[in-house]
Amino acid sequence: MKNKKNIGDKVLFSGNEALAQGAFEAGVRVASGYPGTPSTEILENLSTYEGIYTEWAPNEKVALEVALGASFAGARALATMKHVGLNVAADPLFTAAYTGVKGGLVIVTADDPEMHSSQNEQDNRNYAYAAKVPMLEPSDATEAKEFLKIAYRISEEFDTPVLLRTTTRVAHVKGIVTIGETESSKATLGIEKMPEKFVMLPAHARKRRGELEKRMGRLREFAETFPENRIAWADKTRGFITSGVSYLYVKEAFPEASVLKLGMAYPFPDRLIRDFAAQVQELIIVEELDPFIENHVKALGISCKGKELIPASGELNSHILRKSITGESVRELFAPVPIPMRPPNLCAGCPHRGIFHAISKLKVFVAGDIGCYTLAALKPLSSMDSCVCMGASIGTAFGMEKALGKESLGKIVAVIGDSTFMHSGITGLIDVVYNRGFSTVIILDNRTTGMTGHQPNPSTGVTLGGDLSGGIDIEALCRAIGVKHVTTVNPHDHEEAGKILKQEIERPEPSVIITKAPCALLPEMKKRKDKNIHRVIEANCTGCRSCLRIGCPAIEWVPLTPEEAKQSGYKETQKGHSYINAVMCDGCGQCAPLCKFKAIVAADQDNGNKNG
């Protein structure tokens, strides 16, 4: 086991690493999830522990179903996902609240206030309320580990799935964690038939609905004395109620104030809240995103301040708090200076770049999806026109086509990655075939889940643990659904890809183009010896900038003044020339055909000049 640590060791863990350790200490046996920032590292770390089955599921709904099944068999089980993933898993979640569990079941939802790497900002505490399940909310890595263990005890004691919510500043913040003892479930492993509990046909479900209410009542009582709902009394002129990472911002900004910290975000300890409120002069609720605690406190008839002072979107920090509450800006800051932006970009050698360059020439509407390739929406490729959620590209394109009718033939394409297609793209494609569409779907198969850091997926043929498995053949799959026209192309070859693209989007029938080439960052791609590094023959470069339009990070524009141009043997009017950074070039060869003047060549084809 790579993760051999001794009890009592103090280690520096991110919240996600701490959750993996917590799952290990809690005796989790089965864990499933779908990668998504900021949740990904939980399973990646957990997979390095021995004796725990871990897997990437094709999507979060499946992940939760797998975990629920494991729980039915008496094992402690974990499902992990980012906030938007819980939308996908919401279906089994709401009913799992009815069935309850056998072995403890915890679902980690990692929210992303500020949208560092997400398409929306949603507050998943609302799911706890809506699905009627308890939720714990740690504020740092130390608590993340402890709270996960507590969550399993609660799950088994109250016969309920438990949600554990982190946010980016818990998931990715490193802090000191002490390695603890391991424990195990009190449930016995084995198959036990309990149809009244596990088969949610209406007659059973109605009974369980009653159970659910009773359970919530017991949980509310539990919340009153739950030690992680705790008051730290200090100066009583100002009292705060807070949870999660917001607690740390409160402590930083107002160390002298009294604080009620809710370790359990739902349900609420009403008596504790009333007691606290009664003893402080001014009550302020500090929470990121929605007024979740605030609305409840107000519903109790307690007057307090919250969102009228504190922003309801984005992350908080101690500076924002102090400013919102006292009105004072801490000090005069250096003003920001206007400098060039540094947006993220598709990597040098990325196979997606070629295909988007080819698509951009067709001037079609590009219904996009979630993955590295979403970056193609940015300049200079500017070739994505919509992006909603995982798997939405195909349905979006198809919907547009149905709205516009024959008019739209040849004017719309859907693009989707291999992992995203496996996640939830396939059902969209089934709809296209079944309902007689003519959509053109481009599956960008880079053999991995690139954006989140190269997790394998069902089409990769490798499991999370690194074992070989029967990888799904995307081409055969599409044909099996009933797509008659499936073509696989090499995206690095713009010309060929462009030709096929043109032909397929004009086709009045469903078609799929699979662009297949490995992600440039895969270890085998980075290590390959035969990289065909390219260079610019400066004398041939006319400064037309054609090669810059694909936005490869290895290609740079060197501006020239008229004098410099003259000195370098160019026309005085030439404003610059391009240059390929040999250290960055990945040798994909996409740029060479773009230059009409033959200024870009493979370095080793350049008459022995190999130094670039």
Per CB under 8 A, residues contacting another protein are 10, 12, 37-38, 116-117, 140, 168-169, 172-176, 245, 248-249, 251-252, 317-319, 330-337, 339-347, 372, 375, 379-380, 451, 453, 545, 548, 551, 553, 555-557, 559, 576, 583
Per-residue tokens: 271: 């008596």
396 vs 419 by CB, closer to ligand SF4: 419
Residues 502-531, one symbol each (x = binds ligand SF4 by CB under 6 A, - = not), give -----------------xxx----------
Q: Which is nearer to ligand SF4, 491 or 510 (CB)?
A: 491
Residues in the chain: 612
Burial 528-543 (b: 16+ CB within 10 A, else e): eeebebbbbbeeebeb
DSSP string computed for 436-447: T---EEEEEE-S
Instruction: Indicate the residue among 101 and 245 with the shorter CB distance to another protein.
Output: 245
585 interacts with ligand SF4 by CB under 6 A? yes
Binds 453: which of another protein, ligand SF4, none (CB < 5-8 Å by kind): another protein
337 binds, among ligand SF4, another protein, none (CB under 5 to 8 A by kind): another protein
Give, for 357, the enclosing helix (H) or strand (E): helix 351-362
CB of 555 to ligand SF4, least distance (A): 5
Question: Count of CB atoms within 10 A of residue 301's CB?
Answer: 8
Choose between 92 and 576: whose C-beta lies nearer to another protein: 576
Q: Which residue's CB is nearer to another protein, number 114 or number 606?
A: 114
Residue 416 interface partner, choices another protein, ligand SF4, none, CB cut-off 5-8 Å depending on type: none
Residue 476 carries which side chain, given as an amino acid letter? A
Does the footprint of ligand SF4 cover residue 497 (CB under 6 A)?
Answer: no
Question: At its nearest, how many Å lie between another protein and the CB of residue 62?
Answer: 23
To ligand SF4, the closest distance from the beta carbon of 387 in angstroms equals 15
Closest CA to 512 of 434, 415, 446, 427: 415
**C-alpha closest to that of 141 among 182, 177, 168:** 177
One of 541, 587, 601, 603 touching ligand SF4 (CB under 6 A): 587
**Cβ–Cβ under 8 Å, residues 592 and 605:** no
Q: Taking Cα atoms as reference points, which of 8, 3, 5 lies closest to residue 178?
A: 8
- Of 189-197, 244-252, 260-268, 587-595, the segment contacting ligand SF4 by CB under 6 A is 587-595
- Collect all residues with Cβ–Cβ distance below 8 Å to 353 and sequence separation of at least 6: 346, 376, 381, 550, 551, 552, 588, 590
* Token duo for residue 142: 């130390």
**What are the CA-CA distances from residue 491 to residues 93, 261, 358, 514, 533 (Å)?**
40, 53, 9, 9, 18
Contact between 599 and ligand SF4 (CB under 6 A)? Answer: no
Site residue total, ligand SF4 (CB under 6 A):
24
Decide whether 324 or 511 has the Cβ nearer to another protein: 324
Number of other CB atoms surrounding residue 255 within 10 Å: 10
Strand-pair partners of 363: none
Residue 555 within binding range of ligand SF4, rule CB under 6 A = yes
